Structure 1
Amino acid sequence: MEYVKIFFVNTALLITLSYLANLIYKYTVTHASEPVKRVSWVLLAVFAGWISTFFGYRLHEHVIFDLRYVPLIISTLAYPQPLVLIIIGIATGLTRLTFGVNEAALVGVLNLTILGFVCAALSVWMKRSSSSVMYKGIATILVVNVVNVLNIAVFGVIPTHDYITKILPVTFPAGLVLSALFALIIRDFHLDLMRTGQIIRANKLLSEQTEELHKNKIVLEERAKQLMLASQFKSEFLANMSHELRTPLNSIINLSQMIEEGDESLSAEELAEYGGIIHRSGEDLLSLINDILDLSKVEAGKLDIIIEDLNTSEVPDLLVQQFGVLARQKQLTFSVSLDEGVPAVIYTDPQRVQQILRNLLSNAFKFTMTGGVTMNIRVVERQEGAAAQKWIAFEVQDTGIGIPPEKHDLIFEAFEQADINVSRKYGGTGLGLSISNDLARLLGGFITLHSREGQGSIFSLHLPLHSGASV
C-alpha cells in the first residue's frame, strides 16, 4: 500500500504543479515566441519529474519508486515533437543524479533516456496515424508503462523475481490508473490553453478586420468624395459645353439666315465678314466635336496610332505658320527653336504629335496677355531605373497667368478644370490637356508641367527616342 500512497502523493503534486504552470503559461508564456514556449515546456516537464522523484517512495537507501515518467507521457500527448521528447527524457533521467550517484541512479538515467526515445517514436506514429485522440492516449500510456516495467525488470538493482512477484502487481496497475487520470486532467488544461489561444487569435483577427474595415471605409469615403467632385465637374463641363456649342451655332444660324433672306442693305464687305464669321464658327464647332470624339475614342481604347516618319526640321516652320498670325493679333512674341542634337527624323504618329503641340500652343496663347510664347525642341536624358533613356522634348513656355501647384494634376483630368471661372473668362472646354495627356501615353511618352501662379507655365511633351532615329 505504501507504493499506492506515494503514487497518489506524486499525482497530487503533479496536478498542483500543472495547475500553477497553467496559470503562469496563460498569462505569460502564451504571448511569447515559439522557441520560448518550447524551452518553457521542457523546463516544466523536467522540473515535474524531479518533484516526483523528490517525493517518491524509498524502498531502501538508493531505490526510489515514483511517477517521474508521467510528465513524459503528458508531453507526448500535448507536445508531440520527437526532439523535445528525447531532451525531456534525458534531462529528467539526469535529475535522478541529484539524489546521489549510484547504480540505481544510473539505471534511472538509462530508463528515462530509453523512455524518451520511445515517446519520440510514439509522437511520430501519432502524427501519421488517423486513429482517435483517445486511442492514441491509451496506447501511449500503456506502451510507456510497459517499457518502464521492462526496464526496471531487466536493468534494475532489485532482483527480478522479487520485483515481479512483490512490487509489480501493485505499482503497474497503480501507474496505469494514475497516468490515465493525470493525462485526463492535463488534457483539460491543454484544451483550455487551446481555447485561450483560439480566443486570442480570434481577437487579433477581429482587430485586424476592424482596422481593415476602417481603412476600407476611408477609401470608400474618399471615392464617394471623388465621385461627387467628378459629378460636379461634369455638370460644370456640360454647362460650359452648352455655351461653347450655342455660341458658334447661334452665329452660324443667325448670319446664314440674314444672308438667306437676301437683305439688299447688306454690302459685299458685310457679306464677306459674315461669311468669315460663319467659317470660323464652323471650325470652332468642328474642333469641339473632334475633341469630344477623340476623348471618347481614347477612353474606349479605339483610337488608332499610326507610326510613321516625322521630320523634326519641318515642325518649327509649320507651327510658325499656324500660330504666327495669332501671335501678331495678340501682340505677343513667338518663336520655335530646334537644338542641333535633335534627330532629323523620329518614328511616331505625326498627326497626333501635331495635335498635342497645337493644343499646348493654343492654351499658351489663350492664357498669355503680355510677353510671348516660345517652343524649344531638344534631346534630354531621364534616368529609368539603372539606365538613362533619351527623349525628345517639345517644351512650350509662356508668360501667362500660370497654374497653382496644387492644381497641376487636376488640369489633366477629363471634365475637371483648375478654375471654372478662368474657363468662362478665356473660353474652351478644358478637354485639350486631357486628350493631349492620353495621346502622349499612347505614343509611349508623357507630358510634364512646371508652373506657378502669375509666373507662366512650361508644358513639355516627351517622346521616346528609338535606336532607329536618324540624325
Structure 2
Amino acid sequence: MGLGNSFLINLGMLITVAYLANVLYKYWFTRTSRTMNYILSVLLMIFSGWICMMFGFKLSDNVIFDLRFVPLLIATAVYSQPLTIMIIGFGIGLARFTFGITEAALAGFLNLAILGIVCAGINIWMRRSQYRFVIKGLIAILIVNAVNTINIAVLGVIPFKQYMLEIMPSVLPLSIGLSIVFALILRDFQLDRRRSLELKYANERLRTQTKELQKAKHILEERAEQLALASHHKSEFLANMSHELRTPLNSIINLAQMISENDPEEASASADYGRIIYRSGQELLQIINDILDLSKVEAGRLEVVQEAVNVLELPQMLYLQFEQTARQKGLAFEINLAGDLPATISSDPQRIGQILRNLLSNAFKFTDEGYVKLEVYRSKTEGEQAGESIVFTVKDTGIGIPQDKHAVIFEAFQQADGSISRKYGGTGLGLPISRHLACLLGGRIEVQSAEGRGSTFMLYLPLTSQEPLLQSSAASAQNQAIFAGRDISG
C-alpha cells in the first residue's frame, strides 16, 4: 500500500471519527456536564491522532507517515484555551508510544509536542487577527505542515538528505491538500451543527414565546370577562335605578302640572313655581331616560320593532314639537321633503323620532342665530350598506364642532369642549344613544362640521319601501309649502 493510499485512508478515518463525534455530541454530549464534555472532546482529539497512526504508511517497522497533526489543526480552530491545544499535542505524542518505544516514537512525541506549542501560538493569533476565518485557517495549515516537515527532517530517524529529496516532495503537498480537504469537510459539519443548534434554540424560543402568549391571552380573557361582568352589573344597576327614579319623578311632574294649571291666578307665585318644577322635572326625566337607554344599549337589552313609518307625519310632529323653541330663540325653522320619497318605510318610528329629537335639540341648543333645517331625501349608498337609503339631515348655523372632535362627540358623557356643558348644559348622552339606535335600525349617523360654521348631521336608514309619496311636482310643491321657508323667528 503506497503513501497516497495510506493518507487517503487516514482522511477517511478522520471523516468517520468526525461524523461519530457529531452523532455523539447530538445524542450524548448535550446530556452531560460541561466539564465532562470538555474532557471527552480532548480525548476524542487524541484518539483521532491515534487512529491516523494506526492506519498510517509504515516506511519501516518503526517509521510511520500519517496525518496525526490534523486533529491538532482542528483543535486550534475549535478551542479557545491555548493550554488545551498543548495538552492535545502532548497526548497525541504520547499515543505514538503505543506502537512501540523506539527512537522513531520519541521523535514523533517531540514533533507533536512542538506542534502543540506552535498551534497554541496560532490559536492566540487567530483570536486576535481580523482576517476572515478561511484565510486564518489556510495560514494555520501551511504553518503546521511546514513545521511538521522541518521537525521530521531534523528529529526523525530518516537521513535529512534522503527525506528532503525523496520523501518530502510527495508527502508535503499531499498532507497540505488532504488537510485542506478535511478542514473543509469538518467546516461543513460544523456549519450544519451550528444550523441545527440555531434551529433548536429558535424552536425553544418559539415554544417559550408561545407559552408566554398563551398565559397573556388567558390573563386578558380573564380581565375581559371581569370587565364585561362589571359593565353588566353597572348597566343593570343603572337600568334598575332609572326605573326606580322615574316613578316618583312622574308623580312630581304631574303634581307640578296640576299646581300650574289649577291655580285661579295664572300670575301667582305658586303657578310660576309649579311651572318651574314641571320644566325641571321634564329635564330630569329626559336625563333619566337617556341613562336608561344607554344602560340598555350596553347590556344588549335595547330592542327595536319593525313597522310602517309614515315619512310625512314624522316631520310634522317634529315641527310641532320644536316650533315654539325656534320662536323663543328667534331662529328660522324649515323642514324640506324631497318629491320622490316613499309613503312609508319599515322601521321603528319611536326610535327614529328619538334620534331626530336629539339631533334637533342639539341644533337649537347650540345655535343662537340663523336657522335650523330638517331635510328628508333619498340617497344611494355604497360599501357594506350598499343600496338606497332615506336620509334625515339636520343642519344648523350654530357654534360648530372642531374636526378633531368629530369622533369624541359620539362617546358617552363626552362633549366637544368641556366648557360647553357649563355654558349650554347637557350630559353628552344624546349623540351616543342616537348612534347606537341608528346601528340597531340598520343605518348610521354622519357629521359634517367646522368650528364656527355650523353643523350637519345625517341619519341614513335603509329604504325598503318603494311606494312613492309624491307623484307629481304639484304634490311636491304643496307638501313643501307646509314647512319650507316658514320663518318663525317672529
TM value normalised by structure 2: 0.49
In 2, Cα distance between the equivalents of 1:17 and 1:90?
20
Name the aligned partner's letter for residue 70 of structure 1: V
- Residue by residue over 1:208-242, the C-alpha shift from the partner in whole angstroms, topping out at 9 and shown as x without a partner, is 12222221221121122112112112212323443
Q: List per-residue Cα deviations over 1:394-428 (Å, max 9, x = no partner).
A: xxxxxxxxxxxxxxxxxxxxxxxxxxxxxxxxxxx
| Superposed CA offset, 1:420-447 (max 9, x none) | xxxxxxxxxxxxxxxxxxxxxxxxxxxx
Q: In the superposition, relative to structure 1, how do residues 250 and 113 fare at CA in structure 2: closer, same or farther (>3 Å)? A: farther
Letter in 1 for 2:196: T
Which residue does 2:111 correspond to in 1?
A: 111
- The structural deviation recorded for 1:262 is 10
Whole-angstrom CA distance in 2 between matches of 1:106 and 1:196: 42
Partner of 2:131: 131
1:147 paired residue number? 147
Give 3-state SS (helix, strand or coil) of 1:68's partner.
coil
Change (3 A) 1:32 1:257: farther
- Which residue in the other structure is 1:6 paired with? 6
The corresponding residue for 1:94 is 94
Partner AA of 2:91 in structure 1:
A
Matched position secondary structure for 2:162 = helix
* Alignment partners' CA distance in 2, 1:123 and 1:249: 94
SS of residue in 1 equivalent to 2:68: coil
SS of the residue 1:227 aligns to: helix
Aligned ranges for residues 393-432 of structure 1 at < 5 Å? none
Is this contact kept in 2: 1:90–1:116, CA < 8 A? yes
Describe the shift of the 1:118–1:262 C-alpha distance in structure 2 as closer, same or farther (beyond 3 A). farther
Letter in 1 for 2:5: K
What is residue 474 of structure 2 aligned with on the other side? Answer: none
Question: Displacement, 1:105?
Answer: 2.0
The structural deviation recorded for 1:143 is: 1.1
**Alpha-carbon distance, 1:80 to partner:** 4.6
SS in 2 for 1:130: coil
CA distance in 2, matches of 1:187, 1:36: 24
- Residue 74 of structure 1, CA deviation: 1.9
Structure 2 gap ranges (5+): 264-490
Taking the TM superposition and a 5 Å limit, the aligned residue runs for 1:219-238 are 219-238=219-238
- Deviations 1:87-133 (CA, angstroms, capped at 9, x unpaired): 22121111112122233223322222222222222223222323222
CA distance in 2, matches of 1:234, 1:121: 78
Q: Does the 8 A contact of 1:83 with 1:120 survive in 2?
A: yes
Distance 1:76 1:145, change over 3 A: same
Question: Could you say if the C-alpha distance between residues 243 and 70 of structure 1 is closer, same or farther in structure 2, counting changes exceeding 3 Å?
Answer: same
Pairing 1:200–2:200 present? yes
Q: What is the 5 A alignment of 1:158-307?
A: 158-242=158-242
TM-aligned CA deviation for residue 253 of structure 1: 6.6
**Distance in 2 (alpha carbons) for counterparts of 1:259 and 1:112:** 121
| Residues 277-327 of structure 1: per-residue CA shift (max 9 Å, x gap) | xxxxxxxxxxxxxxxxxxxxxxxxxxxxxxxxxxxxxxxxxxxxxxxxxxx
Long gaps (5+) in structure 1: 264-471
1:45 aligned onto 2:45:
yes
3-state DSSP of counterpart to 1:157: coil
Q: Which secondary structure state, in structure 2, belongs to the residue aligned with residue 204 of structure 1?
A: helix
Hey, what's the Cα distance between the residues in 2 that align with 1:234 and 1:171? 92
> Kindly tell me: are residues 245 and 106 of structure 1, through their superposed partners in 2, closer, same or farther at Cα, counting changes over 3 Å?
farther
Q: Offset of 1:135 from its aligned partner?
A: 0.9
Quote how far apart the aligned CAs of 1:62 are. 2.5
Establish whether residue 26 from structure 1 lines up as the match of residue 45 from structure 2.
no
Deviations 1:183-219 (A, max 9, x none): 1111121122112212211221222122222212211
Q: Deviations over 1:61-104 (max 9, x none)?
A: 33222111111112223445433322221211111121222332
Report which of the two structures shows the higher radius of gyration computed on alpha carbons: 2
Report deviation, 1:31: 4.9
- CA RMSD of superposed structures (Å): 3.5
Shift of 1:155: 2.6
Cα separation, partners in 2 of 1:244 and 1:125, compared to 1, 3 Å? farther
Please state how far the C-alpha of 1:177 moved relative to its aligned partner.
Answer: 0.8
Q: Distance in 2 between matches of 1:162 and 1:97?
A: 25
Q: What is the match of residue 71 of structure 1?
A: 71
Question: Closer, same or farther in 2 for the Cα pair 1:245/1:108, shift >3 Å?
Answer: farther
- Distance between the aligned counterparts of 2:225 and 2:147, measured in 1? 74
Contact 1:68 1:92 in 2 (8 A): yes
Provide Cα deviations, 1:318-340, integer angstroms capped at 9, x if missing partner: xxxxxxxxxxxxxxxxxxxxxxx
Residues 248 and 116 of structure 1: CA distance in aligned 2, closer, same or farther (over 3 Å): farther
2:120 aligned partner: 120
Q: Measure, in 2, the Cα distance between the counterparts of 1:249 and 1:130.
A: 88
1:141 Cα deviation after fit: 0.8
Match of 2:15 in 1: 15
Matched letter for residue 2 of structure 1? G
The 3 A distance-change label for structure 1 pair 112 and 244 is farther
Q: 1: distance between equivalents of 2:87 and 2:248? A: 93
Does the CA-based 8 Å contact 1:78-1:187 persist in structure 2? no
After TM superposition, the structure 1 = structure 2 runs for residues 332-343 of structure 1, keeping only pairs within 5 Å, are none
Partner of 1:83: 83
- Hey, what's the Cα distance between the residues in 2 that align with 1:194 and 1:211? 25
Q: Distance in 1 between matches of 2:89 and 2:26?
A: 25
TM-score by length of 1: 0.51
What's the secondary structure of 1:111's corresponding residue?
helix
Cα distance in structure 2, aligned partners of 1:139 and 1:204: 38
Q: Tell which deviates more after alignment, 133-142 or 75-84.
A: 75-84
CA offsets, 1:11-63, max 9 Å, x none? 12222222233333333324544434333321221111001111222333332
- In structure 1, distance between residues paired with 2:40 and 2:199: 22
CA contact (8 A) 1:73 1:144 kept: yes
